[in-house]
Amino acid sequence: MIAVVGLGFVGLTTALGLADVTGRTVYGYDANIGLRKMLAEGTIPFYEEGLEQMLERHLHKRFRLAECLEDAVEGADVILVCVGTPSLPGGEVSLDDLLGALSQLSAALTNHGRKVIAVKSTVPPRTMADKVIPLLRSGGWEPGRDIGLVHNPEFLREGCALKDFIEPDRIVVGAVDDWSFSVMRELYAPFEAPLHEVGFETAEFTKYLSNSLLASLISFANEMAMAAGAIGGIDVRRSFDILHEDKRWRGAPAGMAKYVYPGCGFGGYCLPKDTAAAIAAIEAHGYTPTLLQEVVRVNERAKLKIVNDIAAAAAPDQVLGILGLSFKPGSDDVRGCVAADILSALAERGYRHMLAFDPMANRAFASRYPKLPLDYADRLEEVIAGADTIVVLTAWPIFTRLKADYPDKQWIDGRYCLI
């Protein structure tokens, strides 16, 4: 049996979606008596396409309302907590309702059968570790021993939440132990979607990552529309319609996901030049493109981070292995490449023993940046043999397995590409 605590937008969608797809009985509980009464009459206090019909189909059958928390969770194997975490004036979220519900849940549980508590509420990273686990321990429950514990963030869009739940594109589960993972695998087995088993912090962060990206895209579009208005003569709607015809939105030749991935910064000839030129052109017409300005600043910080990581890992008198010089895999173009900026910064810090290899760009890099204190290897194996600390600056496919093949080396992965 399944229990869902909190029957608002997320909780009710979760409860009815699980009842419909899994065929299991779902008990729902909400502390709001008025909401429970409304749901018992088959009415939903908000609009969500298909949800009221789903309630009508399963109410008093697969979906049953509990009058108290104890009744809801008594026979449940999995308890999904869907309590709101509203914003506070300073931008932080209030965990009061969630922690209050978990405290009540801790008191309501008995030792009759091991259960998994799955928190679906959106919470800041480290909430599970720093808040939820201590709370459960204070109630006499040791997560991973007495009880399973999971963070299982939701990715529902208002207006199509039921469809999103029933046909998810991914399911994310952060768990305290293997048993908790196994229970969640069984719960979501009927859903045809990849299930990602990760740590608590990764699960918590992934939800913020998703929504922050969407917010950033909207603000980018709005900033560029305001910039277009300042310049004048630009058909904003048509400009964006044309932008959307870029094949990369559809995954070819390289999907947009390739761009929404971290590394040590963007480089090359076009992106740095055109971004800087766009900022200058927009500023010349009296508008300050703060988001674009911050794009450039973040790019500089990304390069500096790798330099600092290298400095923390290796002394200037050590031999550094450098893998990748071109601005991207599959090219020998080194104009404006990130590697040049990073290696220049290392040279300024006294690093004089750097051995580099790039499948295509050794010669072009040596020609364009002759003053860098850099030696070049003709073969990848020379770098592996000659350096204890190895830095990856371009995500060539031939580099991806090197960390696993040479675990005795110290690796600094500037492209998050090593497996």
Place of tokens 């979760």: 14
Report, as residue numbers or ranges, the catalytic residues: 270
Residue 403 and residue 270 share a domain: yes
Cβ-proximal residues to 42 (8 Å cutoff; 6+ apart), any chain: 52, 55, 56, 59
E strands present in 144-264: 148-151, 171-175, 195-198
Backbone angles phi, psi at 150, to 5 degrees: -140, 145
H helix intervals, 232-289: 236-243, 270-283
Residue 279 and residue 175 share a domain: no
How many domains in the chain? 2
Residue 372 and residue 295 share a domain: yes
Determine if residue 158 is labeled as part of a ligand binding site: yes
The pLDDT, as a whole number, for residue 112 is 65
Residues with pLDDT less than 70, the chain: 112
- Length of the chain in terms of residues written: 419
Q: How many CB atoms lie within 10 A of CB 28?
A: 26
Determine if residue 335 is labeled as part of a ligand binding site: yes
What single letter denotes the amino acid at residue 17? G
Is 419 inside a domain boundary? Answer: no
Give pTM, 2 decimals: 0.92
Cα angle vertex 200, ends 72, 193, to 5°? 75
Residue 278 and residue 170 share a domain: no
3-class SS of residue 323: strand
The pLDDT, as a whole number, for residue 166 is 97
Cβ-proximal residues to 37 (8 Å cutoff; 6+ apart), any chain: none
Determine if residue 260 is labeled as part of a ligand binding site: yes
Q: What does the radius of gyration of the chain's CA atoms come to, in whole angstroms? A: 27
Determine if residue 416 is labeled as part of a ligand binding site: no
CA distance 139 to 207: 28
The pLDDT, as a whole number, for residue 113 is 74
Residue 244 and residue 180 share a domain: no
Tokens of 289: 């493109």
Farthest-apart Cα atoms in the chain, separation:
78
Is 418 inside a domain boundary? Answer: no
Torsion of CA 196, 198, 202, 203, to 10 degrees: 60
Residue ranges making up the domain that contains 338? 234-413
Is 216 inside a domain boundary? Answer: no
CA distance 151 to 202: 10
Place of tokens 């910080």: 301
The predicted-structure confidence for 106-160, as pLDDT tens digits, reads as follows: 999 987 678 999 999 999 999 999 999 999 999 999 999 999 999 999 999 999 9
Residue 241 and residue 178 share a domain: no
Tokens of 194: 């990849």
Residue 285 and residue 166 share a domain: no
Residue 127 and residue 62 share a domain: yes
Residue 318 and residue 171 share a domain: no
Handedness of CA 318, 322, 327, 328 (dihedral sign): negative
Tokens of 73: 């969770």
The pLDDT, as a whole number, for residue 110 is 82
Q: In what order do the strands lie in the sheet with 354-357?
A: 374-376, 354-357, 320-323, 389-392, 410-413
CATH number reported for the structural domain that contains residue 381 in this entry: 3.40.50.720
Is 226 inside a domain boundary? Answer: no
- Which of these three, 198, 225, 253, is where a domain ends? 198
